[in-house]
Structure 1
């Protein structure tokens, strides 16, 4: 598959929760919702991402400043399978999020990391051509972010609930294709809860993910990892 995925605007809410809250919430979600079918034994899988930014840290600064209209590019694969790599562009506008993605081969990613990006332009694929243009203007691979994810789905509302644990980072872009090259754990003792849905959030989900005293926030795994560089 080589075609870019059509973008869809979705709602997205994030919460930082404690290990105790995580334990209670996980037991509840396991009883109510279907586990992600891509997850391995135990329902958990690993997410490896390489985020791009400009020399002026535009993506980071826009996130920290709460800019309403912003975007970020990243490369991603799961577990230790570097045979399935994706380029993703995530946009945010008016509180809604949109993600576009396109498959890349490991050879193409290695070329990109080496600064050999002409293949992006010649691919004829809109998302890759856009990345080429922005890399020519200064965008560069910046930070490796890794965490363990447990995910649940609920078809009404196209809901996806994720629990991201053990957030950690790599030393630099060269580490991206080496799943074992991690520098440190960035956020020990906590979990990022994310709830994503289309037009509406079903009451069952709304009640299931409630954590007393917690409000949705603008928590960023990329920003958290950048703090430790």
Structure 2
């Protein structure tokens, strides 16, 4: 399946993004509160969905080190699909400017991903973002680095374009060739019973929504699933 950046690309403007580490008890409490005032994302079937991503990095792990150091202006590249459905796959670049984030995204076929896993990407079949990835592969040794998977419950609210997500059971696999294997062995990234809450919004977020997140001990953190996964890999002796 060919791509055209004009017809398949999506650019989301800069949004605020705040992250918190939560226990399961805290996450369940917050979820019950949110259910009373916020609907689930309309794309979500049931109370959660799964996300599997393949993160890409340069030969010298530039994106990992920039994330680890908290570099203000940085990017990361990934391939993402949902509920193990490989009929719709997206190639994404997420840009960070402090706590502001934006994402560029375009469709990519499973065949294109398999070629990328094999070290190649046909530039005739990709959009602008695919061309960018191809250039980084040739110039900086961009390559598949790690698979990350988790379960997400997403709530939305129109005022402020608010999106609150509860991410549970975050895990990784260094075996990037198993991206489309539903039975791939996934290793926990977080300590047992710890999960992630993310709050995203455009300009402002209504104060009463913030009050629903109050548990008395929530602390905002700088958190990157990719950096945490790479650190866990290193701690487990996987380089």
Q: Give the corresponding residue for 1:136.
A: 138
2:101 to 97, 102, 118: 97
- Quick check: 136-145 or 169-178, which moved more? 169-178
Could you tell me whether the CA contact under 8 Å between 2:95 and 2:101 is conserved in 1? Answer: yes
* Separation in 2, partners of 1:200, 1:58: 32
CA distance in structure 2 between the partners assigned to 1:7 and 1:81 by the alignment? 23
Query: Which residue of the partner structure matches residue 41 of structure 2?
Result: 36
3-state SS, counterpart of residue 28 of structure 1: helix
Identify the residue that residue 146 of structure 1 maps to in structure 2. Answer: 149
The whole-number CA distance in structure 2 between the counterparts of 1:171 and 1:127 is 24
Counterpart of 2:218 in structure 1 is 214
Aligned mates of 2:174, 2:186 — CA distance in 1:
6
Q: How does 1:65-104 map to 2 (within 5 A)?
A: 65-104=69-108
TM-score, normalization by structure 2? 0.90
Residue 171 of structure 1 and its aligned partner are, at CA, apart by 3.0
**Distance in 2 of aligned mates of 1:99 and 1:113:** 22
User: In the aligned structure 1, how far is the partner of 2:34 from the partner of 2:125?
Assistant: 42
Deviations 1:9-43 (A, max 9, x none): 000000001111112111101111001122223x1
- Retained in 2: the 8 A contact 1:45–1:150? yes
Query: Residue 24 of structure 2 is aligned with which of 2, 7, 19?
Result: 19
Specify the SS of the correspondent of 2:63.
helix
* TM-score normalised by the chain length of structure 1: 0.94
SS at match of 1:201: coil
| 8 Å contact from structure 2 (residues 18, 99) kept in 1 | no
Corresponding position of 2:194: 190
**What is the distance in 2 between the residues matched to 1:171 and 1:143?**
5
1:161 equivalenced with 2:172 (yes/no): no
1:69 Cα deviation from its structure 2 partner = 0.4
Give the C-alpha shift of residue 90 in structure 1: 0.1
Q: Over residues 114-159 of structure 1, what are the superposed CA-to-partner deviations in whole Å (9 max), with x where a residue is unaligned? A: 1121x2x224621111111111121111000000111100011111
Unaligned runs of 5+ residues in structure 1 are: none
Residues 69 and 94 of structure 1 are in contact (CA less than 8 Å); yes or no, is this contact kept in structure 2? Answer: yes
**1:5 aligns with one of 10, 13, 27:** 10
Which segments of structure 1 move beyond 4 Å, counting only runs of 4 or more?
Answer: none
Q: Which residue of 1 aligns with 2:65?
A: 61
CA drift of 1:95 comes to 2.5
Structure 2 gaps, min length 5: 234-239
For the 8 Å contact 1:168–1:182, the answer to whether it is kept is no
Count matched residues.
Answer: 226
